[in-house]
Structure 1
């Protein structure tokens, strides 16, 4: 083991630096477009054949692809969850998506735990310190809230708990449970993919008829997210946050009597 503190510090940052470089390379190369809605819809017949040939192999391959997408911060989780539902059914697809997303999140969490935590502790101000203390007091509810209502990019919600000292077991459990509701919603959407295909083709035809550009992307992912879906996830997130606040209030009231 090296005794040079600068080299030791550099080696601690090396895995995170390599991960960041790989993520930038994937985004810069445009390779993540292979996981776009249009590409996957165009390949749905081949994908069905791949699943029918060997379902277990297809589940493993889909899971590994999902984990890699999460680790490299590729913005394709929603599409991949939909196609898990399309290919394997709502229950299997949702569980596969949640297990894969949680595995990828745990890998990023573990890589960033040491160096990011040290950096945040050195640079933290009063507000950041208060947020870190909140994570330490009720880490499960904080992480679950961020998973239920994705207000921030997925990689942020993987690294922030690592920086704030959240235990790995708590992070994994809260991530798994927090992702479940949304995964079932998107997997159910994917299970009705033929309706999505019909809507997509209709939107593209209308775009072409109007002489528009970029008609391959005429149907946005946002149009698949209904107000009811957003309201349901919002209520679940509000419940998680309310439970955290209630527990803190009760703990504060019971404190002096001890």
Structure 2
């Protein structure tokens, strides 16, 4: 798979070696890292506060009548507020993207919900990427060894395929796939396009699951009843996202991820031949 940027050499963040950069005090360069440090601190504080407990299927189901009433009252406002919350969770790296995508599907239906989720997740990712590239890319690549720089150069050569692969697989933290390409100097448009395409399959799948949340609830209740009939004592397990992230879903996304890496494999085979 290719991208409009593939034929152009992707350059790492500016290293700032000109006369003006030489005259710049070292503390000015490190000052650029502060926005990223601030994001990390906010993220750690939110995680320590237990904010993720508010993003659970149990809470959604408990307040679903109220939530649907808000959407019915003013659908456009509900979409905007949900999108802003989604973007915010991505920017501060709170790991609730799957829940937020399902929430979008539940509130607005599969298609609209998926589009809102994909747009929001991409926007948040681009914000984090931009902060990371400005703040950390130059500093880290300047102060690390040749091995990391060679790895960064290799990543940039096939940046679109690599980012697409990382986005398709739900095995890596979202913040990692935002900051890694930023540090390696991937171009913004390559990152944004690969992110948009890479999260789209999962976006529609999770939004569709959210749109049929009542079916998920019924399946959960059926499993609980079967548990009780079997004589088990611990049958009150809360409904969680594990109930909707099935092995089949992971296998599908994994297959798409492998397909995304096909151009990289072909290029390496040709180079050896």
Moved more, 128-137 or 80-89: 128-137
Q: Which moved more, 1:28-37 or 1:156-165?
A: 28-37
Q: 1:204, 1:79 → 2: CA distance?
A: 22
Contact 1:94 / 1:184 at 8 angstroms: preserved in 2? yes
Matched, 1:37 2:57: yes
Distance 1:223 1:47 in 2: 22
Q: Decide whether the 8 Å contact of 1:200 with 1:219 is kept in 2.
A: yes
1:194-244, CA deviations, whole angstroms, 9 ceiling, x for partnerless residues? 01122334456657x85439x4x5333223122321221111111001122
Structure 2 unaligned segments of length 5 or more: list them. 1-22
Decide whether the 8 Å contact of 2:170 with 2:250 is kept in 1. no
TM-score of the aligned structures, taking structure 1 as reference length: 0.87
Instruction: Tell me if 1:20 matches 2:40.
Output: yes
Q: Give the one of 75, 91, 105 matched to 1:71.
A: 91
Q: CA deviation at 1:177?
A: 0.4
2:240 equivalent in structure 1: 220
Structure 1 stretches of 4+ moved >6 Å = none
Deviation sequence 1:13-48 (CA, Å, 0-9, x none)? 111111111111111111221112211121111111
C-alpha separation between the residues in 2 aligned to 1:219 and 1:97? 22
Distance, in Å, in 1 between the alignment partners of 2:29 and 2:220 is 50
Residues of 2 paired with 1:82 and 1:16: CA distance? 28
**2:167 and 2:32 mapped to 1: Cα distance?**
28
> Do the aligned residues in 1 keep the contact of 2:30 with 2:139 (CA within 8 Å)?
no
Do the aligned partners of residues 127 and 155 (structure 1) sit closer, same or farther apart at CA in structure 2, a change above 3 Å counting? same
Structure 1: any 5+ residue segments left out of the alignment? none
Superposed displacement of residue 122, structure 1: 3.8
* Alignment coverage as a number of residue pairs: 248
Instruction: Give the whole-Å Cα distance in 2 for the aligned partners of 1:151 and 1:129.
Output: 25
Partner in structure 2 of residue 146 of structure 1: 166
Deviations 1:74-130 (A, max 9, x none): 111111111111111111111111110000001111111133213431454455334
Q: Relative to structure 2, which stretch is displaced further, 92-101 or 3-12?
A: 3-12
**Among 221, 228, 239, which residue is 2:259 paired with?**
239
Contact preservation (8 Å) 1:199, 1:219 = no
Separation in structure 1 between the aligned mates of residue 218 and residue 25 of structure 2, nearest angstrom: 60
Give the direction of change, closer, same or farther, for the CA distance of 1:44–1:231 in structure 2 (3 Å limit).
Answer: same
Question: Structure 1: how far apart are the matches of 2:249 and 2:205?
Answer: 7
Return the alpha-carbon distance in structure 1 between the equivalents of residues 174 and 202 of structure 2.
Answer: 14
Contact 2:163 2:181 survives alignment (8 Å):
yes
Q: Which shows bigger deviation, 143-152 or 221-230?
A: 221-230
CA RMSD, Structure 1 to Structure 2 (Å): 2.3
Higher mean alpha-carbon deviation, 221-230 vs 67-76, is at 221-230
Partner of 2:250: 230
SS of 1:185's equivalent in the other structure is: helix
Shift of 1:134: 2.1
